[in-house]
Structure 1
Amino acid sequence: MVATSSGRDGWSSRTGFVLAAVGAAVGLGNLVRFPAEAAANGGGAFVLFYIFCILLIGLPIMLSETLIGRHGQASATESVKKMAAESKASSAWTSLAGLGVLSAFMILAFYCVIGGWVLYYIGIFVSDLFQSGVTGGALVGMTPDDIKAIFPGLLENGGLMAGLDAVFILVTVYFVARGVSGGIEVASVWLMPAFFVLLLGITIYGAFGGAFSEAVTYLFTVDFSKLTGPVMLAAIGQAFFSLSLGVAGMMTYGSYVGRDVNLAKTSTMISFADTSVALIAGLCIFPIVFAAGLSSEGGLGLMFDVLPHAFQSMPAGSLIGLAFFVMVGFAALTSSVSLMEVPTAWAMGKFGLSRHKAAGIVASLALVLGIASAYSFNAISGFHPLGFIPLFEGQGVFDALDSVTAKLFMPIGALLTAIFVGWVADRRLIDSENGLTGGLHQFWRFLVRWLCPLALTAILIVGIFPSVLGG
């Protein structure tokens, strides 16, 4: 165990922290959402503006969250409470972290359901590999309609999804219960390098065996005429969600960081790695899709419908398919670990629980909500918990959890963080933690005080009133 200055368990090294934070940020949004968003919103122009948003919005908010946690050396809520007290500000600012903790828990509940779907497809491709061999195509003997029916068939089986959800949560709680250096960091140190190896390996395979040039043209041809207001807001939103901001994750992970770590440098490394994954993911997925002559349909349909079909016609398709879903599983697991750690750390600080007990309680509650999410696709599909609110009308448990966190809680939490750090917290406390000096410090402060709040307000308004963009 490696202790922080407060005596709590902490990261054993800066590398461990960076890998854990990258694991927290890298998830399904990088692997599926970004390529689809880029392709649908102007290709290279969108990509360039997205990188611009990462630098000017995502990175400043990430550094803000991390420095709050490192200064407080406690759970997210206690860290904000400490900084507010030392800044002679109202303790009500603690609510910004509380909203993040709640968001992390709600996302954990439905995210583990998706993790269960990934486990299901890993099982399919393991079985397929034994049947078709290493060199054969995937899902031999199945028609396109058979493959297309796999995912809807899974969604109709609430019991199976609930069981897979339970397995994924058990794996997640195993690492969280073992502590920061002995569990979370161990998972990240092993899984993230393996993730990058698989990602690069599949990308190289696609470069030689797929329609690589077509994918490059599709994703990165710059057409600034397509960079409209809605497209720019989409890039801002993607940059924000890609880094998993607004869920108190970086506050929590930052609280385990030692005083010898430069937060500005490590936040930049994390943002760079996360953005690189998003860019490479497009070059990993689309060559395979285009080589099979399939649609570049975005979202979960791309992962669970289009890609399995594409693997069928590929040499070594069963092996590549298995490698792909294992890679996705690694990304999903490191993200779920970070999501579970946020409410676990809060429960430990709030109620004085042991880590094992706090993690067990969080996992149990998330499983209950996850089971409800799983059955919202079938047995209780007619139950719309927030149907009385027009924004969430017609949404089941799974979709409601997703919408509430993405459209409301996360943007509000990040917006309050920017206001708190930029306008409320004692400047001397901020200056002592952020690792910036001179002009860079002044520029970062300008971004946090002005640009970030404006951008996050735009994300919030569009989320609540989609008709603003014609949605």
Structure 2
Amino acid sequence: MNFSKSNDSNLNQDGPNKGERFSQAGFILAAIGSSVGLGNMWKFPYITGENGGAAFFLLFIVCLLLIGLPVLLAELAIGRSGRGSAATAFIKAGGQKGWLAAGLLQVLTPFIILSFYVIIAGWTLQYAVTSFSGTLYNNPDYAGQFGDFVGGYMPIVWQLISVLVKGWIVAKGVSNGIEKFNKVLIPAMLVLLIILMVRAVTLPGAGAGVSFFLNPDFSQLTTESALVALGHAFFSLSLGMGILVTYGSYVDKNQSLGAATIAVGAGDLIYAFIAGLIIFPTTFSFGIAPDQGPSLIFIALPAAFSAMPLGFVFGGLFFVLLAIAALTSAVSLLEVPVKYFMERLSWSRSRAVWTISLAVFIVGLPSVLSLGLFPEWTIGSKSVFDWMDFVASNILLPIGGLLVTIFAGYFWKKAAEASGLRAGWFRVWLFMLRYVAPILVLLVLLHTSGIIHF
């Protein structure tokens, strides 16, 4: 299926990052890496478990097509047309100066997300080490272990390690750092997924988990389920946070954005699908409820690994998989403000990376401390960590995505040329951006912010 026509050469003008470009395969792997994060490996399984399994998965696929892919293509096209940072791409692509505010929002949002995302990345590194060493399984009180861990100083150490690792990768540049990193780790992640999937589906009683995930029962779906599926389709592709606008600026002029959009969406879906075939057979095999929320990963699953042969190996591989997923997304999040400060202040890449990384670590300290050493650091009923997550994920992200749909659908005169779509596909895409995606993103915003619920 041919989505694209050839792009005009004026879409490849050099911006502030002259010479920094992804190869065609490198771009797709980097974009998949940005979307395949903890959302696929952690959030997707438990929200699927909470909303009925297979029927929810099918609903998620529909939402991915309706809301995810049109916005994804819009962000890539804006980035490639503007060849600027997320803050200036809207203007450089042909928008009015007022759109600078929308761009700045897409620089602020990933910074806030990164400040608490590296904390969870640190948890996955800690659990990978303790699983391989076997110490994770010495004490069967996994809830107590997790509480003791987050209540101490070690989360800060692991937070710092995750900050340093992703900073080192981004400091090496687009092609020599981000692309090479994803070319190695995305295939490695797929290998780990397949190994763990084979182990999971061959466990005694795993068939019930496979059936739960693959045999739909549409009676389990509710209006709330539809809103959750919409939200996850949006969030799982890293939309509304400037990543794909930034990555789009590094895309070669000859790359088909339509085909790349399909490839990234398919990659995100495949990883989520295999994750489901790991989580649900494992939980059903060991009598673990699949709807336990975030505690499923760090409390329930270690209990399952401890009971299976060579569980310390499979548990270690699972947490290594989570760590890779977290780091690929963290690298993408960091690149957004790095490119902005390189453009705005003419900083070198190294200076931008390490200045922002230090800021990320400092801003994240209240979040990590509020979970353990200073639990009294709350506002209302939420910890600092929960507030940072709530504001960025539930308010800023959907607002950013909504602004993208409005800009591309109504104000962007160069949309047809920049998208590279043939006339028929362009009309479909524009219809989705004007009349479908904005309504659905607005529903996501109203739902995740708590204004509407069912």
Q: 1:79 to 1:382 in 2, by over 3 A?
A: same
Could you say which residue in structure 2 is the equivalent of 1:134?
Answer: none
**Matching residue within 383, 398, 401 for 1:414:** 401
Q: TM-score, normalised by structure 1?
A: 0.91
- Assess if the C-alpha contact under 8 Å between 2:77 and 2:248 holds in 1: yes
Q: How does 1:49-448 map to 2 (within 5 A)?
A: 49-83=59-93, 86-87=94-95, 89=96, 91-128=97-134, 139=137, 141-142=138-139, 144-145=140-141, 147-157=142-152, 159-384=153-378, 387=379, 393-426=380-413, 429-448=414-433
Aligned-partner Cα distance in 2 for 1:12–1:5: 15
2: distance between equivalents of 1:9 and 1:207? Answer: 46
Report the 3-state secondary structure (helix = DSSP H, G, I; strand = E; otherwise coil) of the residue aligned with 1:76. coil
Is contact 1:210-1:291 (8 Å) kept? yes
| 2:44 matches 1:34 | yes
Runs of 4+ in 1 over 6 A off after TM superposition: none
Give yes or no for contact 1:50–1:239 (8 Å, CA) kept in 2.
yes
Residue equivalent to 2:445: 460
- Given that 2:49 and 2:291 are in contact with CA atoms closer than 8 Å, whether structure 1 keeps it comes out as no
In the alignment, the residues of structure 2 paired with residue 299 and residue 108 of structure 1 have an alpha-carbon distance, to the nearest angstrom, of 21
**Partner in structure 1 of residue 18 of structure 2:** 8
27 and 299 in structure 1: CA distance in 2 versus 1, 3 angstrom threshold: farther
> CA offsets per residue over residues 259-314 of structure 1, 9 Å max, x none?
01001110110011101111110111121222222222443211111111100110
The CA deviation string for residues 369-399 of structure 1, in whole angstroms up to 9 with x for no partner, is 1222110113332223xx3xxxxx3222211
Determine helix, strand or coil for the equivalent of 1:77.
coil
Q: Which residue type is aligned with residue 206 of structure 1?
A: A
Over residues 229-276 of structure 1, what are the superposed CA-to-partner deviations in whole Å (9 max), with x where a residue is unaligned? 211111101101111111000000110001010011101100111011
Question: Do the aligned partners of 2:47 and 2:291 also contact (CA within 8 Å) in 1?
Answer: no
Q: Give how far 1:5 is off.
A: 4.4
Note the residue ranges of structure 2 that are not aligned, 5 or more in a row.
1-11
Distance 1:288 1:42, change over 3 A: closer
Please, what TM-score do these two structures have when normalized by structure 2? 0.94
Q: Determine if contact 2:113/2:393 at 8 Å carries over to the other structure.
A: no
Q: Which amino acid aligns with 1:402?
A: D
C-alpha distance in structure 1 between counterparts of 2:34 and 2:317, whole Å: 21
Alpha-carbon displacement from aligned partner over 1:126-162 (angstroms, at most 9, x marks no partner): 211xx8xxxxxx72x53x32x33211111111x2111
Q: 1:97-119 CA distances to partner (integer Å, 9 max, x unpaired)?
A: 21111110001010000011011
Report the AA paired with residue 438 of structure 1.
Answer: A
Counterpart CA distance in 2 for 1:95 and 1:373 is: 27
1:9-32, Cα deviation, whole Å (9 max, x unpaired)? 434421100000000001111112
> Percent identity, aligned pairs only?
36
What displacement does 1:39 show? 2.3
CA contact (8 A) 1:107 1:402 kept: yes
SS in 1 for 2:382: coil
Q: For residues 70 and 104 of structure 1, what CA distance do their matches in structure 2 show?
A: 19
1:446: how far off? 0.4
CA contact (8 A) 2:22 2:252 kept: no
Q: Which amino acid aligns with 2:108?
A: L
Measured after TM superposition, the shift of residue 43 of structure 1 is: 2.3
Tell me by how many angstroms 1:96 deviates.
Answer: 1.5
Q: Indicate conservation of the 8 Å contact 2:38/2:326, yes or no.
A: yes
Superposed displacement of residue 70, structure 1: 0.4
Pairwise CA RMSD:
1.5
Kept in 2: contact 1:294–1:306 (CA 8 A)? yes
CA contact (8 A) 1:11 1:185 kept: no
Letter in 2 for 1:149: G
The answer (yes or no) to whether the contact 1:289–1:296 under 8 Å persists in 2 is: yes
For 2:368 and 2:48, the matched residues in 1 are separated by 30
- Which residue is equivalent to 2:4? none
Q: What is the DSSP-based 3-state SS (H/G/I as helix, E as strand, rest coil) of the residue aligned with 1:375?
A: helix
CA distance in 1, matches of 2:283, 2:230: 27
The Cα offsets for residues 195-222 of structure 1, whole Å up to 9 and x where unpaired, read as 0000011001112225332112212322
Q: Which runs of 5+ in 1 are unaligned?
A: 132-137, 388-392
Separation in 2 of the partners of 1:296 and 1:43? 9
Deviation at 1:460, TM superposition (A): 1.0
Q: How many angstroms does 1:179 deviate by?
A: 0.5
Residue 321 of structure 1 deviates from its aligned partner by: 0.7
Give secondary structure in 1 for the equivalent of 2:381: coil
Q: CA deviation at 1:8?
A: 2.0
Counterpart of 1:445, as a letter, is: L
The residue number in structure 2 matching 1:135 is: none
1:469 aligns with 2:453: yes
Structure 2 CA distance for aligned equivalents of residues 11 and 287 of structure 1: 41
- In structure 1, C-alpha distance between the alignment counterparts of 2:189 and 2:21, rounded to whole Å: 20
Secondary structure in structure 2 of the residue aligned to 1:10: coil
Q: How many residues align?
A: 441
Q: 1:469 is paired with a residue of what secondary structure?
A: coil
